[in-house]
């Protein structure tokens, strides 16, 4: 009678314990390990784009520096800080759940969500500025092709592209392909992360988590911190790479 055995086995177990695990600790460790395996696939996924970035930056250093200098370093830096604060509040949400402080946990989850949405809002402002300067690559927006105005010598209009001698606008376009692919995929991960946070928030509100059972919060944290790490690399690689050349270009 397998059913009867299963019932006995779980007679005193936590209601969140799935039948294929021995105990809560084994279940939690399996969940964490599974999330890390998923993050491996994410590392390889973003890794491919970082590789494309490396190759093209090596091939077209002047165009990449000039294109990068056109990005808004202030908004990029503010967004970096926003994400770091959100990683901190996420870590605090995990801690609050681990020690059974449901109210703090909910507050920190809301803060994390608000900071994530702030990041996306600032990103949208940046995308709009690139749209206005006709820097959306190719024909991604069919009626609005890549067509930036190149500044003449002495012109300091920040909306125009400032290119050093011998740099092709085509190669600047390649930077913007990579910029939009990488920040777009990162933003998509943030949107998915916001959706996960809302789900976790509802579950936390209903009192589903406790010091014995909080794997979903912990795993959401792993995802959120991973997305933060991607940005930690994207910020210097996309926004800062040509700043030291600004005077010479």
Partner 1 sequence: MSEHIVYPRVYIGIFFILLVGTLLTVLAAFRDFPGPLNAVVALTIATIKATFVVLYFMHVRYSGRLVWLVIASALFWLGIMFALTISDYSSRGWLPI
Give the residue from 33, 109, 118, 37 showing the smallest Cα distance to 75.
Answer: 118
What track of x and - describes contact with partner 1 for positions 70 through 109 (by CB under 8 A)?
---x---x--xx--xx-xx-xxx--x--xx----------
In the list 29, 132, 155, 157, the residue contacting partner 1 (rule: CB under 8 A) is 29
Check binding of 59 to partner 1 (CB under 8 A): yes
CB 182 within 8 A of CB 238: yes
Tell me 146's DSSP state: S
Closest CB to partner 1 among residues 4, 20: 20
Map the footprint of partner 1 across residues 208-247, applying CB under 8 A: 211-212, 218, 221-222, 225-226, 228-229, 232-233, 235-237, 240-241, 243-246
**21 near partner 1, judged by CB under 8 A:** no
Binding to partner 1 by residue 55, rule CB under 8 A?
A: yes
* Tokens 């909910």 sit on residue: 106
Measured distance CA(187)–CA(125) in Å, rounded = 13
Taking a C-beta distance cutoff of 8 angstroms, is the pair 63, 171 a contact? yes
* Angle (nearest 5°) at CA 172 between 229 and 187: 30
CB closer to partner 1, 81 vs 191: 81
Q: Rounded CA gap, 20 and 43, in Å?
A: 29
Distance CA 183, CA 234 (A): 8
Report which of 76, 111, 77 is spatially closest to residue 91, judged by C-alpha positions: 111
Q: Which stretch binds partner 1 (CB under 8 A): 33-41, 109-117, 155-163, 188-196?
A: 33-41
Residues that bind partner 1 (CB under 8 A): 24-25, 28-29, 32-33, 36-37, 39-40, 43-44, 47-48, 51, 54-55, 58-59, 73, 77, 80-81, 84-85, 87-88, 90-92, 95, 98-99, 170-171, 174, 211-212, 218, 221-222, 225-226, 228-229, 232-233, 235-237, 240-241, 243-246
């Amino acid at each position: 009678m397998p059913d009867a055995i299963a019932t006995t086995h779980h007679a005193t177990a936590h209601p969140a314990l799935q039948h294929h695990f021995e105990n809560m600790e084994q279940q939690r460790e399996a969940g964490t390990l599974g999330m890390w395996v998923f993050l491996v696939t994410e590392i390889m996924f973003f890794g491919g784009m970082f590789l494309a970035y490396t190759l093209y930056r090596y091939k077209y250093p002047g165009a990449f520096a000039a294109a990068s200098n056109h990005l808004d370093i202030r908004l990029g830096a503010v967004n970096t800080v926003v994400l770091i604060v959100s990683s901190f509040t996420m870590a605090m949400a995990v801690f609050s759940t681990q020690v059974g402080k449901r109210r703090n946990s909910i507050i920190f989850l809301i803060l994390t969500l608000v900071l994530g949405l702030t990041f996306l809002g600032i990103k949208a402002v940046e995308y709009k500025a690139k749209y206005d300067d006709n820097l959306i690559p190719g024909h991604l927006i069919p009626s609005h092709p890549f067509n930036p105005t190149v500044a003449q010598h002495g012109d300091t209009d920040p909306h125009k592209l400032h290119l050093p001698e011998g740099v092709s606008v085509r190669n600047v376009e390649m930077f913007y392909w990579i910029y939009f692919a990488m920040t777009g995929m990162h933003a998509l991960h943030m949107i998915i992360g916001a959706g996960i946070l809302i789900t976790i928030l509802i579950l936390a509100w209903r009192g589903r988590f406790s010091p014995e059972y909080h794997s979903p919060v912990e795993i959401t944290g792993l995802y959120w911190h991973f997305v933060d790490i991607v940005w930690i690399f994207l910020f210097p690689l996309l926004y800062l790479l040509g700043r030291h050349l600004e005077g010479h270009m």
